[in-house]
Structure 1
């Protein structure tokens, strides 16, 4: 028995020893596998993988950025141990919530109809877009190539689409690209004036905060004759009219004008009708000649060139300049006339040798002076009535058979020029024709100069002193948020809106004032206004807060009833929390009882920032309100 027990013990010890060795061997294999795989993955940059060996199996855990990264880590581990031993317990980072689609709408309109291309929200009224376009185009064909996505419309999308469709209604040939934060309009206008008006109107009505890109072109005018006139006199050097056929030609001509002494803002119209591709070179030569002489007038009418200078210009310098000019002019161009007049004695111009026509602010025209015979007088009067209206013309013309040749033509040319101004005066004498006045068209001086040169001949002597006045320019003075606010402020400075004590009803004189305000705001489109009610510190806070809110609501509702677009306006009652004067005095309390109208946000990015945009409008009221925390605005 003793021997048997010792044998069993020996056997057990041997088994235990063998088991321990096996465990140690497996542990060694596990450690080796873990180290090898971890090292290999680490070298490859996969340090996010955790390797755990358990017997002959190796488990990989961790979170891969994406599926390709997980697969690559698994492949690298399989290069170290048999892939059958690998257990892939790695996760792949859950993809971020799908980014919202980039919604966009592109509208193409031409004579064949309207085409729609893009991706729009499924619930954003695709059918309504088509219906609106058909209404804008009088039922014209609409080709719908839109796709939809079942995702909410992004902020600003509806406003951008509404603005884009409104622009489409104004433009018969256009491409309008719409995104939630940007609208791009590419179109062609009928004329330069139409282009300026469209740009101003679209900029004015663009939603606040939305980027607006405008590319509206106008067809180049056809100028016949293709003309240019440059003058150097006691008023300085200037272009009375300037035309060029290309951007490069315009740049060269303007540079030559500056070299001849022109200063300030200089313009030159790009137009069709140039007599030669060498127009710019010809003009450069003419401007160089006149600049060297220092005084006179250079006129181009198609290929005919005229150089007139005062009598006191040195004759030798004049001859040298004209010789250089003749040699420098390209083919086709010719120096049709170059005159150095003989000195004349200054003599007073008699009344008998002077015709005048005066146009006032009201459009009334007074004609005076000699016109020749009865036929000439009838022709002058008929022209004046055709240009200014029969009721606006007052005639004091007289007959005089001793007028110089061409007198009626000069008089009528002067009237044609005057018709392009807001107000002004024409003076015609035996020696010259002069037009002075104001205009709201920046191009009017050039147009008048071109007209006179055409009517009287390129060598005719005339002078124009036409001043551009921004206040007469319908484009420059188009309503802007700042200008609208300023106009309303002027109304309120003259007549205040008042309420009966404890009431919020607008009536009597207050209603008339609101009528005047509405007349202004209707021309301004939807503005992001805050209509705020304020009170003095008398009375209970809760009651006065409610009163200030009701009064602000009453002003907003009153504007809406008067067809003012108030969709972007909010009404807020502040009570007494924002006093502007001392509440302990009657005068201060009266000042604190007010309604203010302000712009809630800066102007749209397509317009320059105006510091007056933050200016408020105060509408004093007649009784009290009180102190309370600010409530949420009511739409």
Structure 2
């Protein structure tokens, strides 16, 4: 029986379709297995054992968590070497990255006559407009350049203290570079004088918060000396400088060495400054001083390039001529020598020809003696009243003929020199100008010597006997912080601060010492002070630290209770970390159980450091009082 044709064709088609589906299924399974195996092997060879591979038909699905984005990308690349990249499905994840560390915040503020520039990285939470307003408030005409960048991180500890102190310091410094970072401010500045430098260092140190580390490098420029003067005298008492100038330390050392060889006795001052007339100044000074020493007695005065050598009366002419001749031939070319050999005294006596002026400690001035004419007398009277005060001058001079031609110059030069003394006496004679007295300026003698040598000219002799006396301290002046620290140490050497056993309660017999220390600190005003607590090594270290901190804080609280301003004080416990004696004996342990008061001093600043890099490197170091300050102690013997 023959099947219908259509049935036969249909049966063949169905059988073929079934065989095709079976073959396709087998092929797909084989491809899946082959692709998965190849990709897995490639990932294992690359070290990506964290990745999972699953086949889904022709697709290859990658799952798993990569340690970072670069590793994930490397796994995709490895899979793409075995199968078409279009068949690779990426379902891999990446390990969440840790929060990025906050950047180093720092600001550098530069101020000069042109204005203020601020550069650095500050927190985004910093009130930038308020900061600029504060800088603008330092002067109405000050231009402020804002070159700062911001980062959206929280303000680090100590940042506000550093910025506030930096701006406060800048208000005192017209020319400065201030670098501020969290907990640290470093200041490089220029003062107009040594006195201003010392005052600025004291003020800036007192103004800093106790938790803030500061570094100060304040320099005072070398003074310009005009005229550049050196005056050296040799008498029966030995040699001495009335004035000494040098262009550098090496030049100063050469001059002083020559003077010491010539009999220099007693203290001396040799000012290093600008204005030297020749690089060979020290050579000329050495030769001149040695020539004077060879003559024996007299004076040598160098004013710029003019040298005046005046021998003592009675010097042998032959010796004088030989020494002067040798000196003239060896001096550097730029220098000119004028030598004077006084005439021997005669029996003739015509009465004293002199002018005198005295200034009392109260400032009263009396003028007596001879003046050449009415014009000179009016000139001297007017100058004295202008210089010393009209009501303080008493004039009792008289007009006399036949005075030396340079009498007016000598009198006026002497009066001008007298204005630099607190009190003193001036005597002008045809042979000399003599000035004696007392000054509160340690450089007055050198300045007067330079002034007289310049005004009187070559061949003119003058004598100075000026004593320096430090100016009296103002009644409201605060004592030096170093002295305060010493006084507190003296109090504790007599009566040590002790505590009740195992507690931070001050012993009753120590309260008198605390009262004395409070009186000292009250008189010292705002100084940066660290109150340190220390213990012996008995007991657990952690307990010792806690106890020493509590005791230091107890002292700080006691001072507050006595109305001592303590904003610039900090209490730090050091525990057993800083012993001053052997802990193996009871005596040593007793010494180690102590309270100390230490000034917080500025740190040195290298003048060669510039920019923020050096500042940040220093800032990364552990802060004083914070590494070891976990402080504290427990008088184990007291516990």
TM-score (norm 2): 0.58
Shift of 1:154: 4.6
Contact 1:175 1:186 in 2 (8 A): yes
Matched, 1:468 2:473: no
Matched, 1:409 2:412: no
Contact 1:109 1:115 in 2 (8 A): no
Match of 2:273 among 255, 270, 274: 270
Q: Greater CA deviation, 187-196 or 169-178?
A: 187-196
Partner of residue 536, structure 1:
none
- In 2: Cα distance, 1:203 partner to 1:391 partner: 43
Partner of residue 382, structure 1:
382
Change (3 A) 1:260 1:146: same
Change (3 A) 1:156 1:426: farther
After TM superposition, the structure 1 = structure 2 runs for residues 106-145 of structure 1, keeping only pairs within 5 Å, are 106-111=109-114, 113-138=115-140, 140-145=142-147
Partner of residue 428, structure 1:
428
- For residue 270 of structure 2, give the secondary structure of its aligned residue in structure 1: coil
- In 2: Cα distance, 1:549 partner to 1:283 partner: 59
Partner of residue 221, structure 2:
218
Contact 1:299 1:459 in 2 (8 A): no
- In 2: Cα distance, 1:266 partner to 1:107 partner: 35
Change (3 A) 1:216 1:380: same
Shift of 1:192: 5.9
Change (3 A) 1:374 1:319: closer
- In 1: Cα distance, 2:256 partner to 2:598 partner: 47
TM-score (norm 1): 0.59
- For residue 142 of structure 2, give the secondary structure of its aligned residue in structure 1: coil
After TM superposition, the structure 1 = structure 2 runs for residues 162-311 of structure 1, keeping only pairs within 5 Å, are 162-190=164-192, 194-195=196-197, 197-208=199-210, 210-218=213-221, 220-221=223-224, 223=226, 225-244=227-246, 246-247=247-248, 251-261=250-260, 262=264, 264-272=267-275, 274-311=276-313
- In 2: Cα distance, 1:165 partner to 1:458 partner: 53
Contact 1:106 1:176 in 2 (8 A): yes
Deviations 1:180-200 (A, max 9, x none): 454343444455655554455
Shift of 1:151: 4.3
- For residue 371 of structure 2, give the secondary structure of its aligned residue in structure 1: coil
- For residue 137 of structure 1, give the secondary structure of its aligned residue in structure 2: coil
Deviations 1:588-614 (A, max 9, x none): xxxxxxxxxx9674444569xxxxxxx
- In 2: Cα distance, 1:372 partner to 1:354 partner: 7
Shift of 1:412: 2.8
Partner of residue 146, structure 1:
148
Any gaps of 5 or more consecutive residues in structure 2? 1-44, 46-66, 76-93, 489-518, 532-554, 572-595, 606-639
Deviations 1:145-193 (A, max 9, x none): 1123344545544333333222322333332222345434344445565
- In 2: Cα distance, 1:601 partner to 1:102 partner: 28
Q: Greater CA deviation, 447-456 or 168-177?
A: 168-177
Contact 1:527 1:599 in 2 (8 A): no
Higher alpha-carbon Rg: 2
The total of aligned residue pairs comes to: 480
Contact 1:204 1:479 in 2 (8 A): no
Partner of residue 397, structure 1:
396
Partner of residue 370, structure 1:
369
Contact 2:481 2:527 in 1 (8 A): no
Any gaps of 5 or more consecutive residues in structure 1? 1-36, 38-63, 75-90, 489-515, 531-547, 560-564, 572-597, 608-635
Change (3 A) 1:550 1:318: closer
Change (3 A) 1:326 1:99: same
Instruction: Report which structure shows greater RCO (CA 8 Å, sep ≥6).
Output: 2
Change (3 A) 1:517 1:252: closer
Change (3 A) 1:297 1:179: farther
Shift of 1:444: 1.5
Shift of 1:116: 0.5
- In 2: Cα distance, 1:567 partner to 1:182 partner: 18
Shift of 1:370: 0.9
- The alignment yields a C-alpha RMSD, in angstroms, of 5.7
After TM superposition, the structure 1 = structure 2 runs for residues 35-50 of structure 1, keeping only pairs within 5 Å, are none
Contact 1:418 1:425 in 2 (8 A): yes
Shift of 1:219: 6.7
- In 1: Cα distance, 2:283 partner to 2:316 partner: 26
- In 2: Cα distance, 1:143 partner to 1:315 partner: 72
Change (3 A) 1:135 1:387: same
After TM superposition, the structure 1 = structure 2 runs for residues 542-621 of structure 1, keeping only pairs within 5 Å, are 556=563, 567-568=567-568, 601-605=599-603
